[in-house]
Amino acid sequence: MKSDVIVNHILSATLDGLDAKVVDVEGSLTKGLPGFSVVGLASSDIQEAKERAKNALQATGFELPPLKITINLSPSDIKKSGTHFDLAIALMVALGERCITHSDIFVFGELGLDGKVKSSSLIFPLILSLKEQGFIKNAIVPKESLESLKYIEDVEFYGVDSLQEAVEMLDKEELLESSIKSQEYSKNYININGISYYYCSEYREDFRDILGQEVAIRAALVSAAGMHNMLLNGNPGSGKSMIAKRLRYILPPLSKDEILTIARHQFLAGEEPDFKPVRPFRSPHHTATSAAIFGGGSHTAKIGEVALANRGVLFFDELPHFDSRVLEALREPLQDRVVNIARVNSKIKYSANFIFIGAMNPCPCGNLLSKTKECRCSDVEIKRYKNRLSDPFLDRIDINIVMQEVDFSKKSTVSSEELHAKVLEAFKRQKKRGQIRANGELLESEIDKFCILDKEASDTLNMAIERFGLSYRAVANIKKVARTISDLNSNDTIKKADLLEALSYRKR
């Protein structure tokens, strides 16, 4: 007996946290009272897709069949959301009884009422995640999305401007060859062990602008070369923020995967990435809420400033004025390089691998270290101000610097270009040594392997441990900083001079 049910299938996807889940869009046309329904735990924006699909179909010249139309988004136990399902839903109706031969192709796109296919901010994160999981080989996408999707390799993209084009493409027995070729991110790159690392040679903000502060600039170089957290303590106007803002331009180069990860987070935050190999810089105000910094939401967990700073710089100016709960919660990403967000409806875990830069005044009025201005703070006020930062939080800061008072007669003797060249050389040494991670990101099991001290340096460290009562974490941080300094000094092992400089950066 011939069945009256006609079922077609098209692949799409939805985000579950930060990972894409494959969704099988099923369409059936059955005899019965004419209607149009979407089932499968679809959110309100997908339910609205019915109206967009109806208008787009009519504008394109397709008539809705006098049948009961049911669209099922499978699996039905995962919440689906996003306007990128529009095109797949409309295709289910437009193709009617025709069988779709391209069962492995993914379809993404939002529909306008005139049948035009529009882009969506979720398309790039979805396709990148599917590619990383090995699920996707080809996809029909809006043409306006191709400008960003061309950076994703090993996926064939077929751009369409309208619903009609998508129908004609699926009607063909063989898809045309994609004309999209992979793109390079920058003319400046270095190749190490067959992997290309890209960097930008444009320095919009230069270290030449900073007056004096030789010690702080040297510390910034060490911080950049090893991706170490840093705390700048100094009078107002001494250049703390200037150093932090210039740091991003001298950081180590980025691999293709890192550039794409940065772009994915920017898309999820509603920002338009430029795919340049410049690491992100995030500087939230001290009044920002915990949800704004770490991410959150009552129904869907969204990323915050910590995720957007991934592979870049997270800068907290006026550090003691941040909520103590925010600072204490920051201990997890500073230690483990990840953040977990748990809500009733969603739980996500995302990478938070960044350099943390903090800036603070020595006292509430800011004049404690000044030679020309009088401090108006009492001892109690100064103690209360400093006690806003707990020892467990400060233990996660590798480099602590007290800024010098500004001397207008002194000019900077080094440029960002010169500093960046030193960072690149240190980066090459780390990679050729076999390190996957930067020195500041080394795991405990990797410290003894890569942070090798010569005998004189080892004896000096043992004396420092006994004299200063250093904790295990403090010793590990000192070793990692010393490893970076030795890289900058072109030493294969950590020398005594390298270790002494690292000790000078420790928390007092």
For the chain, how many structural domains are there in total?
3
Question: Which phi-psi region, left, alpha or beta, contains residue 134 (left: φ > 0; alpha: ψ -120 to 50)?
Answer: left
The set of residues, in sequence order, having a beta carbon less than 8 Å from that of 93 and lying 6+ positions away, is 27, 29, 36, 53, 57, 62, 64, 65, 69
Residues spanned by the domain of 422:
191-432
CA distance 236 to 157: 53
The verdict on 495 and 394 lying in the same domain is no
- Choosing from 400, 432, 464, the residue where a domain stops is 432
Q: Answer positive or negative: Cα dihedral of 445, 450, 453, 454.
A: positive
Residue 208, in any domain of the structure: yes
What is the torsion angle, in degrees rounded to the nearest 10, for the CA atoms of residue 143, residue 147, residue 149 and residue 153? 120
pLDDT tens digit at each of 508 positions of the chain: 345 566 788 999 999 878 899 999 998 888 888 889 999 989 988 989 999 999 999 999 888 888 899 999 999 988 899 999 999 999 999 987 677 766 789 999 999 999 999 999 999 999 999 999 999 999 999 999 999 999 999 899 999 999 999 998 888 766 666 656 666 787 899 999 899 999 999 999 999 999 888 999 999 999 999 999 999 999 998 999 999 999 999 999 999 999 999 999 999 888 889 899 999 999 999 999 998 999 876 556 678 999 999 999 999 999 999 999 999 999 999 988 888 877 666 677 888 899 999 999 999 999 998 888 899 999 999 999 999 999 999 999 999 999 988 777 777 779 999 999 999 999 999 999 999 999 999 999 999 999 999 999 999 999 999 999 999 999 999 999 999 999 999 999 999 999 999 999 998 8
The verdict on 154 and 39 lying in the same domain is yes
The set of residues, in sequence order, having a beta carbon less than 8 Å from that of 277 and lying 6+ positions away, is 185, 186, 188, 198, 199, 200, 253, 254, 259
DSSP letter for 309, please: T
Residue 184, in any domain of the structure: no
The verdict on 263 and 406 lying in the same domain is yes
Q: What is the CATH number of the domain that holds 486?
A: 1.10.8.60
The verdict on 352 and 403 lying in the same domain is yes
Q: What is the CATH number of the domain that holds 389?
A: 3.40.50.300
The verdict on 129 and 29 lying in the same domain is yes
Contact by Cβ (8 Å): 92, 10: yes
